[in-house]
Structure 1
């Protein structure tokens, strides 16, 4: 069995592409290696047809240490993945997707958080309580992506999030966890919750 995490990243990217969450070259996925470096999708690659060479390997200092293709460049959002891996030592994968539903969450945000409905599906984000009050952290979107990463680091150093997920306004959700399989499931749960919020508003 091949233990190269890029193969699972390619599979997840293809599935998210089919869902409409990684259209064109949008979004980025990464997986950490035992030496604390991580593979991340290179900039400008179609997520519906990733190849094994469409990744770069980065260290936690933000330096590229391996590129199978000399033309590859790190994703603009590499700094966000770097921040997550630096903040959470148990994070072994970090997925960021761009869905329409995530970008429609703005009216439901309260301050710097998106309140999540107390539905069964929040268990998929690690919350096992009756009638939970769960808040997803929300961050402003900046053209200078390292500024987003800096704000994530500052806020999470002061207060850990309720769930391993955050939302960037008019941009998309970022999810992390201790395995690629878990993170893939959590992305699907987060996107389900976004759709639920939109559908429940339509019924009011």
Structure 2
């Protein structure tokens, strides 16, 4: 796991990439990295992720509380920390608000089925496109501890948990062992969701 300076640089670069792709408009989204000491570096609340600097990244504990007086983490920090608490291998978490994610999550039920895509290989345990997964969709909730409890209940009932989920009408969470893996997974899922959106536009 990285130290704070290395994590901050990775978060800034990720924010610029997600901004170029149109996945973190205005103040949307947040980005985090688990640090070597077990704490979490995460984007400060209210900032544009495409224009981050070092001051836009703060440290929080695994309970989501800021470690420096005056720092204000995102309201959704608890969802990042829930991922880190549940998955010791998780080293980076990305949360974005793309158009496909927002539209599809508003129109579908409790999951979206992704099947026969080459990029399914971005998910762990899938070595071929000849596979199908159900990516969970949770109803959004401003009560973050309550929402996290719903997510954890779903995780507890599944043998293999996909490293990602959608919030209805809101956005996507994807994680990986480090920032490169998290970015790769997010790009793969976004591509598949964009394809699903296009398919639904066909007559």
Fold shared by both chains (TM-score > 0.5): yes
What does residue 58 of structure 2 align with? 56
Contact kept? 1:117, 1:197, Cα under 8 Å: no
Change (3 A) 1:54 1:109: same
CA offset at residue 61 of structure 1?
2.0
Partner-residue secondary structure (3-state), 1:48: helix
- Distance in 2 between residues matched to 1:107 and 1:35, nearest whole Å: 38
Q: How many angstroms does 1:202 deviate by?
A: 2.1
Q: In the comparison of the two structures, how many residue pairs are matched?
A: 199
Equivalent in 112, 117, 135 of residue 114 of structure 1? 112
Q: How does 1:54-93 map to 2 (within 5 A)?
A: 54-66=56-68, 70=70, 72-93=71-92
In 1: Cα distance, 2:139 partner to 2:58 partner = 27
Check whether the contact 2:42–2:73 (CA below 8 A) recurs between aligned residues: yes
The unaligned stretches of length 5 or more in structure 2 are: none
Runs of at least 5 residues in structure 1 that lack an aligned partner in the other structure: none
Q: Indicate the structure with greater helix content.
A: 2
- Does the CA-based 8 Å contact 2:114-2:134 persist in structure 1? yes
- Superposition map of 1:87-166 within 5 A: 87-106=86-105, 109-110=108-109, 112-126=110-124, 127-166=126-165
**TM-superposition CA deviations, 1:35-72 (whole Å, max 9, x none):** 211100010011111010112211112221137xx4x3
TM-score by length of 2: 0.91
1:187: which partner in 2? 186
Matched residue, 2:174: 175
